Amino acid sequence: MIDAFECDVLVLGAGGAGLCAALHAADASPTLSIAVVVKGLFGRAGCTRMVQGGYNAVLTPPDSLEAHLTDTLDGGGWINDQELVWRLVTEAPGRVLELESRYGCLFDRNAEGRIHQKPFAGQTHDRTVHKGDLTGIEIMNRLTEQAQARPSIRAFEECRAVELLRDDAGRAAGALALDARAGRFFALRARATLLAMGGGPTMYRVIACSADKAADGIALAYRAGLPLRDMEMIQFHPTGLVIPGSLMTGALLEEGLRGAGGQLRNGLGERFMARYDAARMERSTRDLVSRASFLEVSQGRGTPNGGVWIDVSHLGAEVVERNFRGMVRRCRDFGRDLARGPVEVGPTAHFMMGGVVVDPDCRTAIEGLFAAGEDTGGVHGANRLGGNGVAESTVFGGIAGDVMAAFVAGRPMPRVSEAALEAAAARCAAPLGRGGGAEVYAIQRELRDVMWERAGLVRDAEGLGVAAATLERLTERLGVVGVPGHGPLNTAWQDWLNLDSQLTAARLIVASALARRESRGAHWRRDFPVPAATPPVCVRVQGRDGAPLVWAEPVAMTRARPPAGARRPVAVEIGD
C-alpha cells in the first residue's frame, strides 16, 4: 500500500517558477492547501539560486516593450512562440516591482535611486536588473522566506516526482513521489499540478547548471504523452571556467563581464570575435559566441587547457572587484585573479530552450496539468538572451499560480487507481537489487561523451546518427543494470533515476536535431551551415509507440516578422 496525501495545488519544483506559483496561489486563495516537492533542500536546490547576471525588464525609456520583444525574437532565430514572448515582456516589469515591494528583494540602484539596469549581450538597451552578480541568491532567499511564512504551503524536501498521475478520464491527478531519505514512495493527489522542475542539460560532459538537475520534468511530460518543442535547442554559455581536473569546470562567469567591456582572446592573443560578429563582438548572443570559441579551439587556436581567455582587467581591479564580487571570489578559490588578468574559459552546457508546449496561461494539453520555467518551450526559441531566464520563471510561475488557484475552485479531488500507483512504483524500483551497479556510471560517462561530441555545439547527420544509435543502446543497457537493494539514502538509485530521465531527454534532443536540416541559433549543422530560406518552423516531438514522433510546424508570426532577407551571422566552417 502506497501512502497518499491530498492537496489542492501540487507544485513540482521549488526554483523561481515553483515558488512564485506557490506564493501566487496561496495569496489568491489562502484556504488552498499547496504542496511543493523539491528534489533537494527547500530554497537551496535548483538553478535559480545560481543566477548571477540578472532579470530583463523594461522600466524606463528609451527602452520599450516592443524593443524587448524584437530582441528576444531576433535572438531566438524567430522560432519563438510570440504570444509567450509578449506575455513575458509585458509582465516582467510588474514582476520586478512585486519582487521588491511584496517579497522584499533589494536590487542595485543607480545614482538617482532608481533600479540599476546593466547591459547584456544581444539587447538594444540596458535592461538587466540585478543584485551585484548574485541576483539569484537574493531572489531565492526572499521567495523562500515568503513561502515559509505561509502556513498553506507545505514543502516535501529531498523528494522527487517519478510519475505524473491521471484519473480515469485522463485528467491530471497529481504525482507519485519518492522520498530519497526514507526510500519510500508516496502519492500526492491534487486538483491542479504544475511542472516546474527545471530542465538542466546534465547529459553533457561540461555543465553550468545545478548538478541535481536531470531534465526530470521533460521526461515525465514525454512519458505522459505531452507534445514538446524546440528540444534540439541547447544553450551553451560561452564563459564557463576551465579548471583542469576539477568538477568546477563549466561553472559560469556571467555575461555582465562581456556587457561591461570584457574581451575574449584566443591562445594567440587575438580578439577572435571580429571574425564572427564584427559589429557586436563580445556582446553578440550566447549561441554565436559559444560556437566561435569552440571553433577557435577546434582549429588549433585555443589556450593550453582547451579554452579561450576572458579579460576584464583593463577595466581596473577596483571596478571589477566592486561590480563582480562573486565571480572574483570564485576565481580566486582556484588561483585565478579575474580583477588583474585573463582567466581561461570555454563553452558549457547551460540551458534547455525546448520543453513542454504551453499556452500563455501555462496550460498543457492535459487538463489540470500546467507547466512553467525551463520545463517549457517557446519563449526563447533557438537561443535565450541572458536575463530572460529568471524573468521567464518568475513571470510564468506567478501566472501559473493565479490560474491554478482559479482552476481548482469547486473541482472535486481526482481519483487514482491503486494499481496505477503500484505499476509506476514497480517501474522505478526495478533496478533495486539487480546486479551491475557500477555499470550505471559507465553508462553516464558514455552518455555525456556522445552528447558533447556528437550533439553539442557543432552537429551533422553522421554524428547525430551515431548519437541516436548510442542512446538506444545505452537505454537498453540501463534497463537491465541494477543498484544496491536498500531504499533509504541510496545515491546509486537516485543516479539511476537521473540517468533514466537524462537518456529520455537526450533522445528527444537528437531526434529533433536530425529533423532540423538548417542552422539556427544554438543548433548549428556543419552539413547545413545556413538558416533555411523558407519561413521559420518549430520542431515538435511526442511519444508514439515507444519512440519519438517528430514533425515541423510553421511559426505563427502573431506580433512581428523578421526583416526581409535578414540573416544572423554564422560561424565559419571548421577547416576554413
Q: What are phi and psi of 123, to 5 degrees?
A: -125, 145
d(CA 541, CA 549): 5
Sequence-distant (6+) residues with CB within 8 A of 8 are 32, 33, 34, 190, 191, 192, 408
For the beta carbon of residue 368, count every other beta carbon within 10 angstroms. Answer: 24
Cα pseudo-dihedral 242, 75, 448, 424, rounded to 10: 130
Instruction: Assess contact for 574 and 295: CB atoms under 8 A.
Output: yes
Which DSSP category does 458 fall into? Answer: S
Tell which residue, 316, 208, 194, has the closest CA to residue 260. Answer: 316
Find all residues with CB under 8 Å of 192, minimum gap 6, and list them.
8, 9, 10, 172, 368, 369, 370, 404, 407, 408, 411
Residues of the chain with pLDDT under 50: 567, 569-576
Measured distance CA(352)–CA(374) in Å, rounded:
7
Element (DSSP H or E) covering residue 369: strand 369-371
Residue holding cell 520542431? Answer: 539
| HSE (side-chain half, CA atoms, 13 Å) at 360 | 12
Q: Is 236 in contact with 347 (CB distance < 8 Å)?
A: yes
Q: Name 167's Cβ contacts closer than 8 Å, sequence gap at least 6.
A: 173, 414, 415, 416
Choice among 258, 283, 286, 291 that is catalytic = 258
pLDDT for the residue 458: 94
Residues contacting 198, CB < 8 A, separation 6+: 13, 15, 17, 46, 47, 48, 209, 210, 213, 217, 373, 374, 375
405: buried, middle or exposed (CB in 10 Å: 19+, 13-18, 0-12)?
buried
Q: What is the pLDDT of residue 565?
A: 59
β-strand partners of 185? 178
* DSSP for residue 244: T
Write out pLDDT tens, residues 295-309.
Answer: 999 999 999 999 999
Domain ranges in the chain with CATH number 3.90.700.10: 236-349
Domain 236-349, CATH among 3.40.50.2300, 3.90.1150.10, 3.40.50.720, 3.90.700.10: 3.90.700.10
SS3 551: strand
What CATH class has 431-554? Answer: mainly alpha
**Where do you find CATH 1.20.58.100 in the chain?**
431-554
Helix, strand, or coil (residue 342) = coil
User: Which residues lie below 8 Å from residue 216, measured CB to CB, with a gap of 6+?
Assistant: 39, 160, 161, 197, 498, 501
Residue 381: left if φ>0, alpha if ψ -120 to 50, beta else—which one? Answer: left
431-483 pLDDT, tens digit per residue, is 998 877 789 999 999 999 999 999 999 999 999 999 999 999 999 999 999 99
**549, three cell numbers:** 514522433
Peptide bond into 151 cis (omega under 30): no
Q: Tell how far CA 13 is from the center of its chain.
A: 13
Q: Which cell is 315 given?
A: 577595466
Q: What pairing do the DSSP bridges indicate for beta strands 234-241 and 55-56?
A: unpaired
Rg (C-alpha) for the chain, rounded Å, is 23
Terminal alpha carbon distance of the chain: 64
Catalytic residue among 125, 127, 237, 291: 237
Per-residue 3-state assignment (H helix, E strand, C coil) for 197-215: CCCCCCCCCCECCCCCCCC
Nearest alpha carbon to residue 292 among 510, 337, 283: 283
Dist CA 62 CA 269 (whole Å): 37
**Contact between 102 and 110 (Cβ < 8 Å):** no
Give me the pLDDT at residue 481, please: 94
**Which residue bears the cell 525546448?**
354
Q: What is the DSSP string of 487-500?
A: -TT-HHHHHHHHHH
Which residue carries 577572435 as its cell?
A: 272
Distance of CA 536 to CAs 78, 87, 223, 558, Å?
A: 7, 21, 28, 13
545-561 pLDDT per residue, tens: 778 999 999 999 999 99
Helices (H), 205-276: 216-223, 256-259
Helix-helix angle 16-28:388-407, to 10 degrees? 30
Residue 93 phi/psi, 5° resolution? -60, -45
Return d(Cα 346, Cα 266) in angstroms, integer: 11
Q: What are the pLDDT digits (tens) for 146-174?
A: 999 999 999 999 999 999 999 999 999 99
Distance CA 344, CA 347 (A): 11
All three cell numbers of 320, joined, read: 571589477
Closest CA relative to residue 143, chosen from 97, 92, 103: 103
- The pair phi, psi for residue 310, each rounded to 5°, is -110, 135
Q: Which DSSP state fits 173?
A: E
Would residue 237 show up in a list of annotated catalytic residues for this protein? yes
Q: Read off the amino acid at residue 554.
A: P
The pairing of strands 34-37 and 153-156 is: parallel
pLDDT (0 to 100) of residue 566: 55
Annotated active-site residue 258? The verdict is yes
User: Which residues, including other chains, have CB under 8 Å from residue 203's CB and lie 6 or more apart?
Assistant: 215, 447, 448, 451, 502, 503, 505, 506, 509
